[in-house]
Amino acid sequence: MKHICRALALAGLVAAMPSGAADWDAPQEPFALFGNSYYVGPHGVASVLITSKQGHILIDGGSDKSPQQIVAHIRQLGFKPEDIRFILVSHEHIDHAGGIAELQRLSNAEVLAAGAAVPVLRSGEAGRNDPQYGGLPKMAPVARVRAVRDGEVVKLGPLAVTMHATPGHTQGGASWTWQSREGGRTANMVYADSLNAYGSKSFRYSGDPAWPSARADLERSIGKVAALPCGVLVSAHPEVSDLWTRYARQEQSGTAAFIDTNACRAYAANARARLQQRLDEERAKP
């Protein structure tokens, strides 16, 4: 199963699989990405901690099975989960948001997400406009959720994280950018949402009443991610942005191993190819 899941991940298809099937919560040691930014998620779904003396920001909470591992990772790195002030969301599916309610309970953090994701997070149930509607498991509802606008900057002490609306995989997709410093060098950090054109067999990115602008929205999101200042990229499913290849070089190169200024363009190019594949498949259907 693991080698099958790895192949699917590299094709950008992990998000399509049912909860647990993609080995989302396989063990993964936490590690420094650059400066005050750390990978704290399990192996199959990303979670990133941005730290400061005034409190921390966590991006994504993994699946409903992820919180125990995320909390242990944060403590292993010498930080306190109770010091998390904000939890930011990439998109409103169980593999990235299923653990948020529990992480919020442990930290009392405020959850921030794109406006379209807010009602899903509050209810725990996917909307009918989700391309995967009908095949998505319910999530634990999240209590305190606030909508963040495209381009809005979330500030906490010295931290400043910008939200970039990137709908396409869902209507509530969001990517996040910030800067981290290490050894006198500043890196542009990117947490990119899933840009995978995946839906149920009946959903059509070429035109669907549930979301007529899905293709145009995704194309804009792909272009937006490609144009981001990009030094260190982590995607919601880390294998899709080749994070583990860079991680393998960390022992020799330190955090410099994660710097790849072409990573966002490559990630976007793969997403564009996947969208074209989806459109071709839809045209071939009767």
178-208 tens-digit pLDDT: 999 999 999 999 999 999 999 999 999 999 9
Tens of pLDDT, residues 57-78: 999 999 999 999 999 999 999 9
Domain total for the chain? 1
- Per-residue confidence (pLDDT) for residue 285, from 0 to 100: 84
Angstrom distance (rounded) from CA 114 to CA 199? 20
Average pLDDT over residues 112-134: 97
Average model confidence (pLDDT) for the chain?
Answer: 92
Tens of pLDDT, residues 2-18: 333 333 343 344 444 43
- Per-residue confidence (pLDDT) for residue 22, from 0 to 100: 55
Residue 215: CATH number of its domain: 3.60.15.10
Average pLDDT over residues 103-121: 98
Angstrom distance (rounded) from CA 19 to CA 42? 14
SS3 call for 116: helix
Question: Which residue range forms the structural domain that includes residue 110?
Answer: 2-284
At residue 101, does pLDDT exceed 70?
yes
Tens of pLDDT, residues 222-280: 999 999 999 999 999 999 999 999 999 999 999 999 999 999 999 999 999 999 999 99
Tens of pLDDT, residues 137-172: 999 999 999 999 999 999 999 999 999 999 999 999
Q: How confident is the model at residue 23 (pLDDT cuts 50, 70, 90)?
A: confident
146 contacts: CB under 8 Å, gap ≥ 6: 110, 111, 112, 113, 118
Distances (CA, A) of 38 to 10, 76, 107, 266: 22, 11, 18, 22
Amino acid at residue number 126: A
- Residue 236's CB is within 10 A of a number of other CB atoms, namely 30
Q: Is the dihedral of CA 220, 136, 162, 195 positive or negative?
A: negative
Distances (CA, A) of 276 to 197, 215, 226, 279: 9, 10, 17, 5
Per DSSP (E only), the strands in the chain are: 31-34, 37-39, 48-50, 56-59, 84-88, 110-114, 145-148, 153-156, 159-165, 174-182, 185-192, 232-235
Residue scoring higher pLDDT (1 or 56): 56
- Per-residue confidence (pLDDT) for residue 20, from 0 to 100: 41
Angstrom distance (rounded) from CA 135 to CA 123? 16
Pull the structure tokens for residue 18.
């049912």
